[in-house]
Chains A and B, each alone.
Chain A
């Protein structure tokens, strides 16, 4: 094709601008977190910090309850993902491999549940949890997060189970395995990558959740990291260095997981996203 010089330059120039726009907020978070305070409150922003300091991270980590909240976030997230994985594994096997009345209905049901408007249901959930006398407890959070990630886990695992060749299972059964045995010995090992990426996405969802914990766990020691982070700035005044250090600490696990996962995510998405 015969493209003019301009025709070759503008896509790349636009791409460079887009890269800067995408990356800058993330870069600025880390850059501010590592900058000494005089560089943060400079009249002209210091775009490439030369002095590196860890004092803001110290402020954030030494903030009251920080370690408790890390523990809370991890407990709630990991348990929610594990529980939903167990429930989804059983259900997805049925949806992918068995023939029964109402299968389509179940699938559509989970698709609807996946779009559930949790953000708008907070008042009802608050009343339920309050009547059960469980405000400021991690138990309701874990349970609700479990159901929040369950539909996605279920539907995704169903795809992974269906992708395991049926012949493998059948030959195991010919060799004398019962169906549950065939599942545990043949399908489960092959599902490992699927379980991995599904659970990591569940982890990200639960790790980021904000509206429910805002309503349910007001007490300082019962919060999770997103709620703490959203209040951090008002608590620490305009200490942007510490605020950005706190943001970084909160964001790093997700950024790492996501970059690690994105190849899978995109290829998985495109498999089903567009069909003719």
Chain B
């Protein structure tokens, strides 16, 4: 998960604001200048529409087609109305996977936010040397490429010679000495969850710590003068100050975990017995794996709708925070 790429360091500057007010200094060249910004944006917009917009439209179109292996090979286009949707929405599989996805996302996000926040607050409390050490450790975990990390976790949780099983055996759980973690639904999810939480905590912790450094010390002093203890100082100063940040981050994490295709797929391909498929993996396995491209597209579209709803909620929060920056 390349978490860092999703949060632009938008810098508020006087320049942008001044660009908004006041007339253009070179009025004589107004006409060509008026077109310039659109021309400058044109290539990027065209590329985005073509390579992001078109696949989305295509996905919508495919979801109304009967498109299996036969139609694929013979290049047939068979429209079948809303058949795919009635089939998907009527199948208990879809609802089971959706419920599983929501539960999976909720579990992960709660763990990430709670542990990440605690780690961030801990960073603020540590002495300088220990803090830098922990920051470096967090960055190391953050930077680890997703697929490299999944491979390492497969090794950590390996049935034979895996460190985790050895540790459990040593701790007295002798039945775990040769435990097959990917042989069971819950234990596979356990491995995936540990992996995702491990990868996501650094982002939350480091940014939360950075946010706490911007809280003015005077606020705590004022609270202390009013007789607030450590806990009250936390609830009346720290928490309100961090609230917008926590909201925005929670939504980001919800979106990322909900579409965590790479981790889930690379650990066990959605197995055992398709029991760890979450929605993106389910769409892939139905669509590409089982070559029911129409059905897969319908599942994908429903997933995209859920994701878009979450994205719009997230952007509402972000835009409210930074309205002056636009």
Contacts and interface: CB of A to CB of B under 8 A. Distances in A.
A271 B58 contact: no
Of the four ranges (under 10, 10 to 19, 20 to 34, 35 or more), the interface on chain A belongs to 35 or more
A272 interface: yes
Interface in B271-326: 279-280, 283-284, 287-288, 293, 296-297, 300, 303-304, 307-308, 311, 314-315, 318-319, 321-322, 325-326
Interface in B1-39: 2, 4-13, 15-16, 18-20, 24-25, 34, 36-38
B11 A272 contact: yes
Interface in A219-234: 226, 229-230, 232-233
Interface residues of B, number: 113
Nearest to A246: B151
Contacts of B18: 166
B196 to A, nearest CB: 13
A211 B7 CA distance: 22
A172 interface: no
B225 interface: no
A177 interface: no
Main secondary structure of the interface of B (DSSP, over half): helix
Contacts of B139: 258-259, 262
B5 A202 contact: yes
Contact of B59 (A12, A44, A94, A121): A121
A14 B118 CA distance: 11
Nearest to B246: A274
A76 interface: no
B141 interface: yes
Contacts of B130: 11-12, 15
Given A90-B41, A120-B283, 5 more contacts: A21-B198, A23-B137, A121-B56, A162-B11, A273-B245
Interface of B: 2, 4-13, 15-16, 18-20, 24-25, 34, 36-38, 40-41, 43-45, 47-48, 51-52, 54-56, 58-59, 62, 119, 122, 125-127, 130-131, 133-134, 136-156, 158, 160-161, 163, 166, 198, 202, 206-207, 210-211, 213-214, 242, 244-245, 248, 255, 259, 261-262, 265-266, 279-280, 283-284, 287-288, 293, 296-297, 300, 303-304, 307-308, 311, 314-315, 318-319, 321-322, 325-326
Interface of A: 11-12, 14-15, 18-19, 21-23, 25-26, 28-29, 32, 40-42, 44-45, 86-88, 90-91, 93-100, 103-104, 106-117, 119-128, 143-144, 146-147, 149-152, 154-156, 158-160, 162-166, 170, 201-202, 204-205, 207-208, 210-211, 214-215, 226, 229-230, 232-233, 238, 240, 243-244, 246-248, 250-251, 254-255, 257-259, 262, 265-276
